[in-house]
Amino acid sequence: MKIEVLGSGCAKCMQLYDNVNKALAMSGKEAEVVKVQDIPSIIKYGVMSTPALVIDGKVQFSGKLVTPEEIRGML
């Protein structure tokens, strides 16, 4: 599984990255977690507001911060 956290490096984007890692630990699953801060790469996903979460190439949400529990439900 590949998980991408899209964002410019703001506080919410960094918190989302941490929440993804917590969700993985809670679920016992393993994944490649990548921060994507390159604006053209973010736009390719059609994301206009960050933070955003992409799991295996599919945008799960954008423009909000979600909890580790909510992320765990997406895994």
From 13, 36, 54, 66, active-site residue: 13
**Interstrand relation of 52-55 and 2-6 (parallel, antiparallel or unpaired):** antiparallel
Has 11 been annotated as catalytic? no
Q: Which helix (H) or strand (E) holds 20?
A: helix 11-27
For the question of residue 9 being annotated catalytic, the response is no
**Residue 13 and residue 66: Cα distance in Å, rounded?**
11
**From 10, 26, 39, 48, the catalytic residue:** 10
Q: Which residues are catalytic?
A: 10, 13
